[in-house]
Structure 1
Amino acid sequence: MRLLIGFCLLTVALGRQGFGPTDQEWGYVTVREGAHMFWWLHYTTATTKPTEKPLIIWLQGGPGGSGTEYGNFEELGPWDSDLKPRNNTWVNHANILFVDNPVGTGFSYVENSEFATTNEQIANDFVVLMQGFYKQLPQFEDVPLYIFSESYGGKMAAEIALHLYQATKNGTLKSNVRGVGLGDSWISPVDSCLTWAPYLYNLGFLDTQQYQLLDKEAQDLKQMADTGKWAEASSQWGYLEELVQLYTAYADFYNVLDNIPAYGSHVRKSNKVLGKPVLTYDEDYLMNKLVKLALNLTQDWGHQNEAVFEHLVDDFMKPVTHIVERLLNETDITVAVYNGQLDLIVDTPGTVNWVDKLNFKGAKIWTTTEKEAFSAEGFYEGFGKKAGNLAFYWVLRSGHMVPLDNPNAMLYILQQVTNNFEV
């Protein structure tokens, strides 16, 4: 372990000493009194002049999933969960900024109970975060900025992108936000839940009776949402998950083709944190021993994660499709929606449903445009469709975590949105 730590503490040219093989920077921004948000930047390895490449923010799901941990080590960072180099890391193409968002997630923390309670408050906090980030690293102010996200992170990313755009326009922030990537995102929770029954039925997980029972409970959830009973709708969502596990013998919410251990609950079930499955390594040791030591942090990682979710329970099931519409109608930001075909928690049929209902200036073009197949490394990996500043990608052979399950397709989408490199 001494050799490992010694390797991690090598002196770097662009940033401070960090954890991993890249040049890095990191820090805290106090976004409200008593509320402190942590960010961790990995400089790109594509060039010795990082500002020649885009800055990509990664936001994890949850709410309460840590991007500095799961997104970084499990999906797209320079090291994988075994602390070995990742060949398809995004750092090969762009500067990657992992943020533990909202406050209370990961290394971010609140002193008393200053947790965010609405998506709008999360977005407001993020504007302050970026003001602090640019103050420390002003060389990135003019660099094209993209926000990529997963699961509940997409719900946050949509509103964050709108607020960053508005702050830039009104002069309270100097930034160059160009696009947002919404991966398997909790944009319209009701649309997702309503499609669980037919999706599972068509895959052979349910019999007719179970389909009818699950669909009825989903319709009850819709009724709660339609009447503004958001806390009840969140509880009903949890009950739907329990029914799915009962009827399907614990089918994996994040990839329905994953093998399921017999005679016991599945290790990757949601555990009340959307988009944050249980990891295969000791995350507490990795983050609270190795990473915390290497970054010289005093704050423990992860001890407020569950409280983050609990404070957003009234907001959890609310849709943000109107925010996506504002991005499409009021900005020139590219909005890229992508979804893995094997995902259940945010299944592709539900995502297609809310996208098809969007009221935006390119809607007529959307309805008459055919999707086209795309390939990477000699294989068809999915389909794409564009209209105005909206793009949609159907990703094959992938579940909820597209960067993990189908990295070639993800890099293709990344290139399409940023127009930054060849694949």
Structure 2
Amino acid sequence: MEVRWYVLYGNHSIVIEVRPGGHMFYWLFYTKDGDVPSCADRPLIIWLQGGPGSASTSYGNLAEVGPIDLDSRMRDSTWVKHFNVLFIDQPLGTGFSYLEEHTKFPENNRELGSDLVSFMKGFYGRHRAFQKVPLHIFGQSYGAKVAAEFALQLQDGQNRGQICFQLISVNLVSPWISPLHSVMSWGRILLRIGAVDEQMYKKIHAASLQVAHLMRRNLWSDASNQMFIVQRLIAAQRIGLYNFMDRSEESTELREAQIMNGPVRIALNLSDNLQFEGSSNFVFDRLSNDFMKPALTTGKII
């Protein structure tokens, strides 16, 4: 992996303290649109990865929409060509974001939104030119659930005169805002496309009904664990959970961690004491009681 690729694009990264002991890392890529005199003449996109516990700066950036891919090659098509893109490692404990000892981990969506609003206050304090730039928030999967709450709290902060910004849109990408609808659809879709037979469909459907049963009893953490049982049934058929056409079973987590703790750390001049957590199980565990709770009301409000 060559360090030089990660410094070719104008970018900025730093850790912002969002509350005592809680430090949130971001990686900002300035637009490469040559038709504008300043990056402040193009909108700002915020990308929030899902999980919870998956890092925006690695998966969202390197594996999805950033200017450089997992093979350290420049992408022909990237949002950075036309927009400023801000990847935020959230929740705290994800990616290069971290908490000091004895600092409380966020345990629900409201706390996640609060940390992000605090982050944006610090971000706009460091990048004042972006306060007047059109803002678009993108959240993927669980990140979409967070994005909805974040936008709601951000708007409330502006109404109170606590923060100034120009929010234009909130974009929910494959949103995890109605988990039960998502889980109940998996088996049916796989049966219709011929990825599983009738017998396997019945097993998936029965396991999915158990998720619904636990949710009706407000046993949210148990429902999260049961959801993983459904996923394991599907994965055992060598069906990709993100792409049912992908049967390679290849995980990018190890490659992401190697890149982030290696060439990216060097390029961004980060301390060796800052360890990258690309997919934090601990973060997920702390949010497992909130994971299966729907956020449809929040989505409708925004």
Equivalent positions of 1:319-330 (< 5 A) are: 319-327=294-302
Equivalent positions of 1:3-152 (< 5 A) are: 4-5=2-3, 7=4, 19-46=6-33, 47-112=36-101, 113-152=103-142
Whether 2:276 is the aligned partner of 1:293: answer: no
Moved more, 93-102 or 193-202: 193-202
Q: Deviations over 1:240-259 (max 9, x none)?
A: 1122234xx22111111124
Q: Measured at CA, do residues 86 and 183 of structure 1 come closer, stay the same or move farther in structure 2, by a change above 3 Å?
A: same
Q: Is the 8 A contact 1:78 1:91 kept in 2?
A: yes
Which amino acid is 2:17 matched to?
T
Measure, in 1, the Cα distance between the counterparts of 2:235 and 2:59.
Answer: 24
What secondary structure sits across from 2:58 in the alignment?
helix
Q: Deviations over 1:103-127 (max 9, x none)?
A: 1110000112522100100000000
Cα deviation for residue 202 of structure 1 reads 0.8
Q: Measured at CA, do residues 280 and 323 of structure 1 come closer, stay the same or move farther in structure 2, by a change above 3 Å?
A: closer
What secondary structure sits across from 1:31 in the alignment?
strand
Q: Is the 8 A contact 2:47 2:137 kept in 1?
A: yes
Equivalent positions of 1:205-244 (< 5 A) are: 205-244=195-234
Measure, in 2, the Cα distance between the counterparts of 1:212 and 1:259.
Answer: 21
Measure, in 2, the Cα distance between the counterparts of 1:99 and 1:30.
Answer: 13
What secondary structure sits across from 2:88 in the alignment?
strand
Equivalent positions of 1:165-180 (< 5 A) are: 165-180=155-170
- Correspondence for 1:311: 286
Question: Aligned residue pairs: how many?
Answer: 297
- Correspondence for 1:252: 240
Q: Is the 8 A contact 1:131 1:173 kept in 2?
A: yes
What secondary structure sits across from 1:186 in the alignment?
coil
Cα deviation for residue 166 of structure 1 reads 1.2
Cα deviation for residue 302 of structure 1 reads 1.1
Q: Deviations over 1:115-172 (max 9, x none)?
A: 2100100000000000000000111101111111211111111111111111111111
Measure, in 2, the Cα distance between the counterparts of 1:303 and 1:199.
Answer: 30
Q: Deviations over 1:163-199 (max 9, x none)?
A: 1111111111111111111111111110001111211
Measure, in 2, the Cα distance between the counterparts of 1:227 and 1:63.
Answer: 23
Post-superposition, which runs of at least 4 consecutive aligned residues in structure 1 deviate over 3 A? none
Measure, in 1, the Cα distance between the counterparts of 2:53 and 2:178.
Answer: 19
Which amino acid is 2:267 matched to?
A
- Correspondence for 2:147: 157
Measure, in 1, the Cα distance between the counterparts of 2:46 and 2:287.
Answer: 22
Q: Measured at CA, do residues 45 and 304 of structure 1 come closer, stay the same or move farther in structure 2, by a change above 3 Å?
A: closer
Q: Is the 8 A contact 2:257 2:278 kept in 1?
A: no
RMSD: 1.7
Q: Out of 278, 281, 284, which is 2:257 matched to? A: 284
Cα deviation for residue 23 of structure 1 reads 1.2
TM-score for both structures, normalised by structure 1: 0.67
Which amino acid is 1:229 matched to?
L
Measure, in 1, the Cα distance between the counterparts of 2:162 and 2:112.
Answer: 17
Identity between Structure 1 and Structure 2 (%): 37
Higher relative contact order (CA 8 A, sep 6+): 2
Q: Give unmatched runs, 5+ long, in structure 2.
A: none
Measure, in 2, the Cα distance between the counterparts of 1:167 and 1:194.
Answer: 36
Q: Deviations over 1:307-333 (max 9, x none)?
A: 111110101111111101111xxxxxx
Q: Is the 8 A contact 1:127 1:160 kept in 2?
A: yes
Q: Which has the higher helix share?
A: 2
Q: Give unmatched runs, 5+ long, in structure 1.
A: 9-18, 261-265, 268-277, 328-423
Measure, in 2, the Cα distance between the counterparts of 1:129 and 1:206.
Answer: 44
Q: Measured at CA, do residues 304 and 35 of structure 1 come closer, stay the same or move farther in structure 2, by a change above 3 Å?
A: farther
Measure, in 2, the Cα distance between the counterparts of 1:182 and 1:104.
Answer: 23
Measure, in 2, the Cα distance between the counterparts of 1:325 and 1:151.
Answer: 17
Q: Is the 8 A contact 1:20 1:79 kept in 2?
A: no
